[in-house]
């Protein structure tokens, strides 16, 4: 294949991330979505924006402040992204105030503001404030001996401008009140007299109503809530640390006080107070977000749990036990007959837990090896590993300490397992271990037999109920031997032997994918029918994108199902005519990675832990493995690829200019959801006892 680069301008990655959140926000706008679920999607957008600012904004901001940055970070990029972010936030609050709040009131659910409360309600709020809130508040008046306090990342605070003099006759006019994080942000208020419905209060409104009582002898003038978001991506120089775990613990302590990147204030905040805060946090005007409502919409997810009305939620979906498994059947006996795939969350993650549970309880199992990336703080899986150690099995755990925002949980699990005798390793310096693999070694007669579980997603029962992923159980000797080699490599850093089935990053995954794309391009030039379908969470790797463009120009038909950031423009005349890109945003978070290649009658399908991003290909330990069983392969093609290519309700198609157009077929019969169809299919299977 020629290495000529086609005339192509990639889309901006960070703009693409914000565009993804616009598609998520659409679920909050949809009137066919239950009301509490609409609120939940609104809150998801807020949480996503928090992470965007914590991880992606600092370089743009620093460039805007005149400091040179590597890459495409400029003052112009900061201005452009700020405009998009401001527009997205404004639409969130319009939706919240003009649609969701009135819809909740129609259901008898109200968040009662201070100005709306009657006398009885104000008395109740006063009593609640005195009993539960006031003892936790410490107002800080600013003066030379009390400079502006350290304000933690995403903490909620009040800034108050005071009149008069303090107890020492000084005119220090600014005070800060931190809202305690230990208190719930929403409070259920009992009905008084003839009141009907379910009434709630925001904690901030309770404090706002009693601010003056915190400053005896002073007049409270201007005030506002505020919240600062800080850069929170932990940066540890791994070449200069002797103990990564200790270095990360120290980094976690400082994460809450990194560079400020965004300031949120109430819409009515005075120019004087907002300017004062911008100066304190060294932020430009574009980093200021004035919001007409709760300063942190994300915390409104509490209302979903407080109301918990089935009529206002999605119909409860109960995942069926994996179709290829039978309750009570030995996994080891089943896997001798062939591989097993589990399509989560339509099928239950309980199958994976049952596999590990059997391994822990089986006296013939001698060793268990597992990678840990995001297991959560309360994990049955980790407790099973602890039990395996107690039973005398050789347990090796590869813990990724730098799993963003899960670092503390992973450190705690690592220390717990290490303290009871498990062998804990931290992979390879400089590379995140993102591969999801579990290996069981069992004595069977005079032989040691390997069994493995591989997955596109994390070993986390919670996210397994919300994310679409594919789990793969196998006793294939070549595949399980490859998994064994990878574990040995991660623990010993010895040279990796030739792998028979697995493609592993950072060594050959990207190269092998490039070879497969180029081979299909050559086949297309010879007149063969060729096809590539890729399902991934992000597409930002330039080498892979350029290879796709070249293949498309040779005649390969290419479909990319990319949930989030995508830098490859689709359907650009003369450049990417043969490439279609779509994003599917559904009730569940699309998370599975599936790679399909076909040339004439020869087809290959890979499952993977890796997104098509440069970091995943070259700076992480990732796995991709082939699905060799033809029945399972066709099942995954049908459920993970074909169903999504024909989605007529939750899909968005990427346009040549980088915008997304929601799919809206003229024929109502085609307006179906892939996820809804899969839920129906598996529910029917459960009802039939299949």
Catalytic residue ranges: 434
CA distances, 529 to each of 260, 548, 550, 552, 572 (Å) = 53, 16, 16, 12, 22
Measured distance between the N- and C-terminal CA atoms of the chain, rounded to whole angstroms: 48
Helix H, strand E, coil C: the string for 593-637 is EEEEEEECCEEEEEEECCCECHHHHHCEEEEEEECCCHHHHHHHH
Gap between the Cα atoms of 271 and 267, Å rounded: 11
Structure tokens at 302: 């509490």
Give, to the nearest 10 degrees, the angle between helix 244-255 and helix 407-419. 140
The residue whose two tokens read 């259901």 is 107
> Are the C-beta atoms of 478 and 507 separated by less than 8 Å?
no
Cβ contacts of 90 within 8 Å, gap of 6 or more: none
DSSP conformation class of 659: -
Gap between the Cα atoms of 197 and 106, Å rounded: 10
H-helix segments, 446-566: 477-492, 509-525, 542-554
Gap between the Cα atoms of 23 and 646, Å rounded: 18
Which residue in 209, 201, 40 sits closest to 111, CA to CA? 201
Q: Which residues of 390-405 are buried (b: 16+ CB within 10 A; e: fewer)?
A: eeebebbbbbbbbbee
Which residue in 216, 210, 223, 218 sits closest to 133, CA to CA? 210
Which residue in 122, 134, 131 sits closest to 189, CA to CA? 122
Cβ contacts of 390 within 8 Å, gap of 6 or more: 420
The residue whose two tokens read 């599917």 is 584
Taking only Cα atoms into account, the Rg of the chain, rounded to an integer number of angstroms, comes to 27
Which segments of 4-155 are extended strands (E)?
A: 109-111, 140-141
Helix H, strand E, coil C: the string for 221-282 is EEEEEEEEEECCCCCCCHHHCCCHHHHHHHHHHHHCCCCEEEEEEECCCCHHHHHHHHHHHC
Which residue in 295, 278, 313, 305 sits closest to 49, CA to CA? 295
Structure tokens at 628: 């060799």
Pairing of strands 620-626, 432-433: parallel
Gap between the Cα atoms of 480 and 371, Å rounded: 15
> Are the C-beta atoms of 449 and 474 separated by less than 8 Å?
no
* Number of alpha carbons in the 13 Å side-chain half-sphere of residue 252: 18
Give, to the nearest 10 degrees, the angle between helix 380-390 and helix 350-361. 10
């Amino acid at each position: 294949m020629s290495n000529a680069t086609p005339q192509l301008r990639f889309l901006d990655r960070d703009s693409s991330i914000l565009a993804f959140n616009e598609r998520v926000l659409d679920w909050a706008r949809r009137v066919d979505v239950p009301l509490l679920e609409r609120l939940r999607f609104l809150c998801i957008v807020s949480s996503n924006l928090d992470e965007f600012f914590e991880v992606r904004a600092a370089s743009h901001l620093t460039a805007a402040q005149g400091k040179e940055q590597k890459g495409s970070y400029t003052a112009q990029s900061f201005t452009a992204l700020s405009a998009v972010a401001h527009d997205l936030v404004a639409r969130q609050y319009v939706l919240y105030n003009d649609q969701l709040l009135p819809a909740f009131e129609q259901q008898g659910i109200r968040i009662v503001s201070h100005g709306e409360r009657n006398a009885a309600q104000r008395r109740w709020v006063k009593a609640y404030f005195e009993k539960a809130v006031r003892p936790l508040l410490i107002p800080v008046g600013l003066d030379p001996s009390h400079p502006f306090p350290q304000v933690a990342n995403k903490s909620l605070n009040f800034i108050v401008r005071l009149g008069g003099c303090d107890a020492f006759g000084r005119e220090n006019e600014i005070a800060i009140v931190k809202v305690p994080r230990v208190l719930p942000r929403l409070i259920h208020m009992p009905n008084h007299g003839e009141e009907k419905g379910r009434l709630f209060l925001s904690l901030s409104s309770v404090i706002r109503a009693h601010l003056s009582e915190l400053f005896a002898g002073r007049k409270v003038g201007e005030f506002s809530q505020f919240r600062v978001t800080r850069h929170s991506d932990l940066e540890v120089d791994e070449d200069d640390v002797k103990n990564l775990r200790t270095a990360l613990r120290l980094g976690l302590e400082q994460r809450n006080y990194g560079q400020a990147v965004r300031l949120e204030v109430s819409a009515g905040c005075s120019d004087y107070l907002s300017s004062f805060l911008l100066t304190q946090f060294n932020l430009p005007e574009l980093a200021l977000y004035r919001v007409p409502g709760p300063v942190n919409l994300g915390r409104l997810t509490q209302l979903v749990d407080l109301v918990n009305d089935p009529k206002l939620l999605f119909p409860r979906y109960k995942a069926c036990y994996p179709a290829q498994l039978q309750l009570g059947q030995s996994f080891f006996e089943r896997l001798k007959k062939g591989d097993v795939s589990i399509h989560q969350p339509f099928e239950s993650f309980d199958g994976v837990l049952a596999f590990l549970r059997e391994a822990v309880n089986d006296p013939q199992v001698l060793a268990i090896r597992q990678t840990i990336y995001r297991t959560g703080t309360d994990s049955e899986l980790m407790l099973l590993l602890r039990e395996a150690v107690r039973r005398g099995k050789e347990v090796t755990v590869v813990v990724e300490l730098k799993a963003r925002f899960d670092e503390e949980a992973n450190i705690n699990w690592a220390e717990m397992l290490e303290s009871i005798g498990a062998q804990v390793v931290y992979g390879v310096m400089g590379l995140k271990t993102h591969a999801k693999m579990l290996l069981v070694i069992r004595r069977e007669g005079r032989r040691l037999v390997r069994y493995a579980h591989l997955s596109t997603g994390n070993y986390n029962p919670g996210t397994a109920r919300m994310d679409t992923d594919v789990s793969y159980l196998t006793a294939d000797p070549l595949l399980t031997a490859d998994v064994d080699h990878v574990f040995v490599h991660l623990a010993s850093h010895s040279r990796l032997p030739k792998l028979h089935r697995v493609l592993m990053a950072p060594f050959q995954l990207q190269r092998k994918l490039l070879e497969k794309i180029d081979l299909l391009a050559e086949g297309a030039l010879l007149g063969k029918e060729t096809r590539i379908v890729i399902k991934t969470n992000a597409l930002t790797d330039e080498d892979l994108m350029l290879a796709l463009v070249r293949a498309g120009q040779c005649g390969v038909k290419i479909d990319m199902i990319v949930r989030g950031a995508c830098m490859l423009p689709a359907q650009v005349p003369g450049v990417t005519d043969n490439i279609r890109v779509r994003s599917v945003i559904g009730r569940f978070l699309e998370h599975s990675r599936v790679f399909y290649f076909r040339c004439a009658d020869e087809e290959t399908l890979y499952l993977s832990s890796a997104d098509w991003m440069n970091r995943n290909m070259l700076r992480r330990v990732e796995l991709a493995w082939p699905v060799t069983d033809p029945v399972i392969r066709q099942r995954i093609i049908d459920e993970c690829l074909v169903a999504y290519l024909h989605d007529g309700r939750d899909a968005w198609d990427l346009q040549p200019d980088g915008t997304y157009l929601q799919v809206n077929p003229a024929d109502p019969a085609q307006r179906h959801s892939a996820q809804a169809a899969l839920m129906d299919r598996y529910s029917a299977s459960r009802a039939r006892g299949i």
